Amino acid sequence: MRRRSSFGLLVLAVLSLLVWFYIERPKDVAEYSLTAFDTKEDKSKQSSEELSQHNSQTQQKDTVRSNETQYAEQTWFHQDPFLDYVLVRRYLYPCRKDSYKSDLRGKPMTQQITKAIDQIKQACELWSKRYPEFSDESFSIDAIEASSELGKMLKNSPKRDPSDPKVRLESVKESMSMLEWGVEQGDLTAIERSVQGLRYTWDISYTRPEQALLGGESHYLDRLSSIAIQLLKCQRSAGFGCHADELTMLVKCLKDETVCGLTYPQWADQILTPGMKMDVEALMDYYSQNMD
């Protein structure tokens, strides 16, 4: 009898334990799991909200930075603001990431070289103050309005991939048309831009208009045409790069100390042969035939 009572008590204890396990314990586990899920969801929600807030703040900063971009107070290279930026960007190339330093490799730091480096730094600093927007990474030249016929032509010209041979041929044709148009209109900037375009695509077989005057290969005209245009700019005081203390001549000084202190016309007179000088003069006459 006593054994039956003990057995009954044991069965009752086991049943109580099972009831607790299946009723109470799962409740605790479920609550713990749900709490953990809610915590992850809250963190994910919080991270999403923080990311959204960060993006919003970034966009606001970008908007403020864009709105606060300082533009040049005046044009220095052309009356058309767009062309002014096109021309100054090319002129200031030595200032970009101190690219002029590539001309110093393997050269002794003489007194003339040191002086030229200091002058280049000063010139770059001066122009960076005149065109502060170039130091803004968000600045795009496309934001500048074009006011002249040439400026609108350049701004609306299609963006092309120069690695494609077909594209290079189209660029050559476009530069040729611009050159003829520039000569006809007496537009020195158009002539300069077209000559620059032809200079970088001389590997394509084509005949330039100047070859009717001088003959020779197109790559022979690449250098002479650039010199002729710069000399025209110096004659007409149309741009920079003519004086000894300007970027164009300072960079030439780094490459060759014998030309340090020379103006651009003096440099051209020194490096050109008599035959080349005659060709340059012929090019200058051809380019300026319709200029005032």
The model's confidence at residue 30, banded by pLDDT at 50, 70 and 90, is very low
The model's confidence at residue 12, banded by pLDDT at 50, 70 and 90, is very low
More confident residue, 189 or 19: 189
How many C-alpha atoms does 204 have within 13 Å on its Cβ side? 21
Query: Which among 43, 68, 93 is the end of a domain?
Result: 68
**DSSP structure string for the chain:** -HHHHHHHHHHHHHHHHHHIIIIIHHHHHHHHHHHHHHHHHHHHHHHHHHHHHHHHHHHHHHHHHHHT----SS-SS-SSHHHHHHHHHHHTGGGGGGGGGGGGTT----HHHHHHHHHHHHHHHHHHHHSGGGG-TT--GGGSPP-SHHHHHHHTSPP--TTSHHHHHHHHHHHHHHHHHHHHHT-HHHHHHHHHHHHTTTTS----TTHHHH-S-HHHHHHHHHHHHHHHHHHTT-SS--STTSHHHHHHHHH-GGGTT--HHHHHHHHS-HHHHHHHHHHHHHHTTT--
| 92 in a structural domain | no
How many C-alpha atoms does 167 have within 13 Å on its Cβ side? 9
- Residue 267, pLDDT score: 97
The predicted model scores a pTM of 0.70
Spatial contact of 225 and 245, defined as CB atoms under 8 Å apart: no
| 277 in a structural domain | yes
For the chain, give the mean pLDDT: 75
For 42, the domain range is 1-68
Do 61 and 182 belong to one domain? no
| 99 in a structural domain | no
| 169 in a structural domain | yes
Do 53 and 163 belong to one domain? no
Query: Which among 68, 101, 125 is the end of a domain?
Result: 68
| 80 in a structural domain | no
Spatial contact of 95 and 128, defined as CB atoms under 8 Å apart: yes
Query: Which among 68, 87, 121 is the end of a domain?
Result: 68
| 139 in a structural domain | no
Do 283 and 165 belong to one domain? yes
How far is it, in rounded angstroms, from Cα 292 to Cα 13? Answer: 116
Q: Give the rounded distance of the alpha carbon of 112 from its chain centre.
A: 31
Do 56 and 164 belong to one domain? no
Whether the pLDDT of residue 169 is over 60: the answer is yes
Do 172 and 57 belong to one domain? no
| 182 in a structural domain | yes
pLDDT (average), residues 160-171: 75
| 131 in a structural domain | no
pLDDT (average), residues 66-88: 75
Do 280 and 176 belong to one domain? yes
The model's confidence at residue 184, banded by pLDDT at 50, 70 and 90, is very high
- Residue 217, pLDDT score: 75
- Residue 209, pLDDT score: 86
Do 165 and 274 belong to one domain? yes
Domain count, the chain: 2
